[in-house]
Structure 1
Amino acid sequence: MQKRTLGKTNFEVSEISLGTWQVGGKWGDPFSNKIAEGILHAAIDAGVNFIDTADVYSAGLSEEAVGRVVKSRPERIYVATKCGRQITPHLSEGYTEKALRGYVEDSLRRTGLERLDLIQLHCPPTEVYYRPEIFGLFERLREEGKIQHLGISVEKVEEALKGMQYDNVTTVQVIFNVFRQRPSELLFQEAKQRNVGIIVRVPLASGLLTGKFTTDSTFSKDDHRHFNRDGAGFDKGETFSGVDYDLGLKAMARMKRVFPGETNLAPRALQWILRFPEVSCVIPGASKIQHLNSNLSVPELPPLTQAQVDGMNEIYEEMIKAGVHQLW
């Protein structure tokens, strides 16, 4: 497994790491500790050393599973979690120092870790980035030994640019993939200048970029790919990267012509992301071992040719860009 430096944390992390939003089963399914722990152990066995979770993933069960597995392993595994999404209604006023400190302490308790390697604000309202006292709290938590580093998980490029102005922000987690290319412009340039690590989430556009979905594909009522296409539950950009599903299927039909004979395009989508040296790691999720193995197969593939890269980018420019580029 190739490693890259995670910005000014100086962590050397696996370039393909693991996100755990759906690690205990498909979105909408009950959480399974057996499935979660099986995937986590398999990932670590394969060389993954960075795991991203959040306090709201399966109501804390994801954090608990990550903590159990990490503590059972001899390898140095970096654990990143997130806080803030429990605030209801999810408004800036709910981001109080008392609430955030409580979330950090709850994550420590659930994971059983003495210190969190990386705590990330979990897509807070834009106004939070203009409240320096929030970022000051995390500096105190670092001095107390409860966290090692602070990062931000953002919806919008503008939020990342503002958040990086705080010296103690070491990482930015952002949606970036073939269908969401805007971060590769100013954001990547600024992150490199400030030595801020880039963690890429939703790299497969909620599975759309695998090329396996069709007009007949269905999703359970509790799966965000069913209920959140228009942002009914949270920012619609988290679902299919904000791309209209039917348009996405048409774009993928064209993508398949760029890679004739390949039935699973997930590794190709990850390859496209990893072409950018500013990316520290990508964190695809997995609800099955097969998904994990697919994600980790990237090093076995021949490099993308320039013609393939051009073909992928042309699909974005001609079919996707107008509907998503300036929204996030």
Structure 2
Amino acid sequence: MHYRKLGKTGFNVSEISLGTWQVGGKWGDPFSHDTADAILNSAVDAGINFIDTADVYGDGESEKAVGRLVRSRSERVYVATKCGRQLQPHTSEAYQPAALRRFVENSLRNMQLETLDLIQLHCPPTEVFYRPEVFELFDRLKEEGKILNLGVSVEKVEEGLKALNFSNVTTIQLIFNMFRQRPAELLFQEAKRQDVGLIVRVPLASGLLTGKFSSHTTFSPDDHRQFNRDGAAFDKGETFSGVDYETGLAAVEELKKVFPDQPNLAPAALRWVLMFEEVSCVIPGASRPDQLHSNLQAAELPELPPEQMQAVQAVYEQRIKPLVHNLW
């Protein structure tokens, strides 16, 4: 495993880390603590030292599993969680310091920890990034020893750029993959200039970039890849990166030609993300330990040659960019 500095946090984190959305539901499977424990412990065994969760994953069960892992291991495992998505309705007006404080304290109780390494605003409405009082709260929480660092999880490049205006923001979590390349144009260089860490989520476009799906693949009704394709439940950019499913399948067939020696496209897709030095870590999820080990193969791949990087870019330009580039 290789490690990279996570911006101003000063943490050296595994470049391939672990996201726990799959562990916490919305992927067609009920939450299982046995499965969660197996995935989490396998991750640490493999050298992963950064785990990303959220209070809404499995209604807090994901946080409980992560906390149990941290308390049971001797290794230093950095914990990142998120707050804000519990607010109903999920509006800027609902983002009040008292409510956010309560969420942070609930997360600490869920995980039975005294301090959170990183708390992230969980994809708040764009208007929240224009409200300094929301960000000031986290200075108080840091003074109280409840958090070490503040980060933001964003849907849009605009939100990430605006977050950089707040000096206490140490990380930005965002969607970036072969199908979502806009962040590399400006946000990456600005984050690097301000020493803000970049955490990449949805690196496999909800599994599309594994190359294992087809037009005959079916998803259960309670899997977001079925019910959220048009953004019925949350931002559709979180599902297949906002790419129309059939369009994505066609683009994947082109990518398979770029990586003919990769029966599983996932490691190459993750290695592509890590070719960008501004990226601190990538957090693919896993529903089973074998998926985790598939993702870890990316750490063993050499750097992608310029010809392959250019070929990926060409597929994006021709098939994906006109449909998604300016939406997020």
Give the TM-score category using the shorter length: over 0.9
After TM superposition, give the deviation of residue 305 of structure 1 in Å.
Answer: 1.9
Corresponding position of 2:91:
91
Q: C-alpha distance in 2, partners of 1:301/1:49?
A: 20
Corresponding position of 1:4:
4
Corresponding position of 1:131:
131
Corresponding position of 1:299:
299
CA contact (8 A) 2:26 2:224 kept: no
After TM superposition, give the deviation of residue 262 of structure 1 in Å.
Answer: 2.4
CA contact (8 A) 1:212 1:263 kept: no
Q: Partner of 1:308: helix, strand, or coil?
A: helix
CA contact (8 A) 1:24 1:287 kept: no
Q: C-alpha distance in 2, partners of 1:48/1:36?
A: 15
Q: Partner of 2:225: helix, strand, or coil?
A: helix
Aligned length: 328
CA contact (8 A) 1:25 1:287 kept: no
Mean Cα deviation higher: 228-237 or 297-306: 297-306
Corresponding position of 1:248:
248
Please show how residues 224-239 of structure 1 align to structure 2 within 5 Å.
224-239=224-239
Corresponding position of 2:173:
173
After TM superposition, give the deviation of residue 303 of structure 1 in Å.
Answer: 2.8
Please show how residues 138-217 of structure 1 align to structure 2 within 5 Å.
138-217=138-217
Can you list the C-alpha shifts for 1:163-209, whole angstroms capped at 9, x where unaligned? 11100000000000010000001100110111000000000000000
Q: C-alpha distance in 2, partners of 1:84/1:240?
A: 23
2:219 is the alignment partner of 1:219: yes
After TM superposition, give the deviation of residue 268 of structure 1 in Å.
Answer: 0.3
CA contact (8 A) 2:80 2:120 kept: yes
Could you tell me which runs of 5 or more consecutive residues in structure 1 were left unpaired when the two chains were aligned. Answer: none
Please show how residues 59-98 of structure 1 align to structure 2 within 5 Å.
59-98=59-98
CA contact (8 A) 1:155 1:175 kept: yes
Mean Cα deviation higher: 15-24 or 110-119: 15-24
- Opposite residue 15 of structure 2, the aligned amino acid is E
Please show how residues 274-293 of structure 1 align to structure 2 within 5 Å.
274-293=274-293
Q: Partner of 2:269: helix, strand, or coil?
A: helix
Please show how residues 10-29 of structure 1 align to structure 2 within 5 Å.
10-23=10-23, 27-29=27-29
| Distance change in 2, residues 1:24/1:309 (3 Å) | same
After TM superposition, give the deviation of residue 290 of structure 1 in Å.
Answer: 1.0
Q: Partner of 2:172: helix, strand, or coil?
A: strand
After TM superposition, give the deviation of residue 147 of structure 1 in Å.
Answer: 0.3
| Distance change in 2, residues 1:291/1:25 (3 Å) | farther
After TM superposition, give the deviation of residue 300 of structure 1 in Å.
Answer: 2.1
Q: C-alpha distance in 1, partners of 2:130/2:303?
A: 42
Q: C-alpha distance in 2, partners of 1:252/1:108?
A: 41
| Distance change in 2, residues 1:130/1:26 (3 Å) | closer
Q: Partner of 1:44: helix, strand, or coil?
A: helix
Output the TM-score relative to the length of structure 2: 0.99
Q: C-alpha distance in 1, partners of 2:24/2:170?
A: 28
Q: C-alpha distance in 2, partners of 1:25/1:324?
A: 26
Q: Partner of 1:206: helix, strand, or coil?
A: helix
- Opposite residue 93 of structure 1, the aligned amino acid is E
Q: C-alpha distance in 1, partners of 2:277/2:209?
A: 21
Q: C-alpha distance in 2, partners of 1:147/1:93?
A: 24
Please show how residues 29-44 of structure 1 align to structure 2 within 5 Å.
29-44=29-44
CA contact (8 A) 1:120 1:152 kept: yes
Output the TM-score relative to the length of structure 1: 0.99
Q: C-alpha distance in 1, partners of 2:233/2:176?
A: 21
Q: C-alpha distance in 2, partners of 1:257/1:112?
A: 48
CA contact (8 A) 2:262 2:268 kept: no
After TM superposition, give the deviation of residue 69 of structure 1 in Å.
Answer: 0.8
Q: C-alpha distance in 1, partners of 2:242/2:137?
A: 33
Q: Partner of 1:120: helix, strand, or coil?
A: strand
Can you list the C-alpha shifts for 1:107-145, whole angstroms capped at 9, x where unaligned? 000001110000000000001011100000011000000
After TM superposition, give the deviation of residue 259 of structure 1 in Å.
Answer: 1.5
After TM superposition, give the deviation of residue 25 of structure 1 in Å.
Answer: 6.5
* CA root-mean-square deviation: 0.9
Q: C-alpha distance in 2, partners of 1:285/1:249?
A: 20
- Opposite residue 77 of structure 2, the aligned amino acid is I
CA contact (8 A) 1:25 1:35 kept: no
Mean Cα deviation higher: 213-222 or 305-314: 305-314
Q: Partner of 2:23: helix, strand, or coil?
A: coil
- Opposite residue 109 of structure 1, the aligned amino acid is R
Q: Partner of 2:68: helix, strand, or coil?
A: helix
